[in-house]
Amino acid sequence: MSDEQKKLLEQQLWAIANILRGKMDADDYRNYILGFIFFKYLSEKLEIYAKEILEPDNLKYTDLEEEKDKMYIDAVKKACIKKLGYFLKPSELFSSLANKGNNLVDNETNENDEATQFFILEDLERILNNIEQSTMGTESEDDFVRLFEDLDLNSSKLGKTTKAKNEIIAKILNALNKIDFQLEDTNADVLGDAYEYLIGEFAAGAGKKAGEFYTPQQVSTILAKIVTTRKKRLKSVYDPTCGSGSLLLRVAKEVEDVGYFYGQELNRTTYNLARMNMILHDVHYTKFDIKQGDTLEDDLHEELKAEAIVANPPFSAQWSAKQIFASDDRFSQYGRLAPKTKADFAFVQHMIHHLDDNGIMACVLPHGVLFRGAAEGHIRKYLIEDRNYLDAVIGLPSNVFYGTGIPTSILVFKKCREIDEDILFIDASNHFEKVKTQNVLLPEHIDKIISTYQERLVEEKYSYRATLQEIKDNDYNLNIPRYVDTFEATERIDLNAVTNELKELEKEIINTDNTIADFCKQLNIQTPF
Its pTM stands at 0.86
Residue 19, helix vs strand vs coil: helix
Cα separation, 117 vs 372, whole angstroms? 61
Pairing of strands 433-435, 257-258: unpaired
| Residue 245 backbone class (left: φ over 0; alpha: ψ -120 to 50; beta: rest) | left
The one-letter amino acid at 215 = T
From the list 411, 306, 415, the residue with the least C-alpha distance to 357 is 415
- For residue 109, CA distances in Å to 4, 116, 358 come to 38, 7, 64
Q: What's the confidence (pLDDT) of residue 154?
A: 87
Whether the CB-CB separation of 330 and 349 falls below 8 Å is answered with: yes
Q: Give helix 26-54 / helix 268-280 axis angle, nearest 10°.
A: 30
Q: Are 53 and 47 in contact (CB under 8 A)?
A: no
- From 3.40.50.620, 3.40.50.150, 1.10.10.920, 3.20.20.70, which CATH number describes the 207-482 domain? 3.40.50.150
Element (H, E) at 226: helix 217-227
At residue 142, the pLDDT reads: 94
Q: Where are the domains of the chain?
A: 3-203, 207-482, 492-529
Whole-number Å distance between alpha carbons of 138 and 67:
25
Q: What is the maximum alpha-carbon separation in the chain? A: 111
Predicted confidence at residue 405, as pLDDT, reads 78
Residue closest to 198 by CA, chosen among 32, 312, 364, 43: 32
CA distance 240 to 295: 6
The bridge status of strand 237-239 relative to strand 261-265 is: parallel
Q: Pick 3-203's CATH classification: 1.20.1260.30, 3.40.50.970, 2.40.40.20, 3.40.50.720.
A: 1.20.1260.30
DSSP 472-503: HHTTT---GGGTS----PPPPP-HHHHHHHHH
Classify residue 427 by its DSSP letter. E
Q: What is the mean pLDDT of each run of 10 residues along the chain (529 residues)?
A: 73 84 76 90 95 95 94 96 96 92 59 53 93 96 94 88 87 90 71 74 59 76 97 97 93 96 95 93 94 97 98 95 96 96 97 97 96 97 97 94 82 92 96 85 96 96 96 96 79 83 88 86 81
